């Protein structure tokens, strides 16, 4: 059974801090790892990672995948209150349906 574990479960920081969110996984047939941001409603897509060691970057957010050690990190620099959300990590398998298995998420709270 595929498994995704995220840590920490919750994190409280102040504006301007840098945070690192962790995601480890066990997947029989790995295709990709995805990060989503969820603010009360629908998760919104952040990154899709398929190759080890290649950093993906979008503004203050960046992410990298290590397929040997089976984990990924999501970094947020110079955090803002608008970054407060649940960050979800999911792994996608190679089956025709390309199912996603989600972790339980990291609740990030950024205080002013």
Partner 1 sequence: DGGITQSPKYLFRKEGQNVTLSCEQNLNHDAMYWYRQDPGQGLRLIYYSQIVNDFQKGDIAEGYSVSREKKESFPLTVTSAQKNPTAFYLCATKHRGVQETQYFGPGTRLLVL
Query: Interface with partner 1 by CB under 8 A: which residues?
Result: 4, 6, 9, 34, 36, 41-45, 48, 88, 90, 96-100, 102-105
**Nearest approach, Cβ of residue 30 and partner 1 (Å):** 14
Q: Which is nearer to partner 1, 15 or 26 (CB)?
A: 26
Q: Which is nearer to partner 1, 17 or 38 (CB)?
A: 38
Q: Which is nearer to partner 1, 6 or 63 (CB)?
A: 6
**Nearest approach, Cβ of residue 87 and partner 1 (Å):** 11
**Nearest approach, Cβ of residue 1 and partner 1 (Å):** 9
Give the chain as a DSSP string.
Answer: --EEEEE-SEEEEETT--EEEEEEEE-SSEEEEEEEEESSSSEEEEEEE-STT--EEETTEEEEEETTTTEEEEEE-S--GGG-EEEEEEEEESSTT--EEE---EEEEEE-
């Amino acid at each position: 059974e595929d498994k995704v574990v995220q840590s920490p479960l919750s994190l409280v920081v102040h504006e301007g801090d840098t945070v690192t969110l962790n995601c480890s996984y066990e997947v029989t047939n790995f295709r990709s790892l995805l990060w989503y941001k969820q603010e009360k409603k629908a998760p919104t897509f952040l990154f899709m990672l398929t190759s080890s060691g290649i950093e993906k970057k979008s503004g203050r957010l960046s992410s990298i995948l290590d397929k040997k050690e089976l984990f990924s990190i999501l970094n947020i620099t110079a955090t803002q209150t608008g970054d407060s959300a649940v960050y979800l990590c999911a792994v996608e398998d190679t089956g025709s349906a390309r199912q996603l298995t989600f972790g339980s998420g990291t609740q990030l709270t950024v205080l002013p």
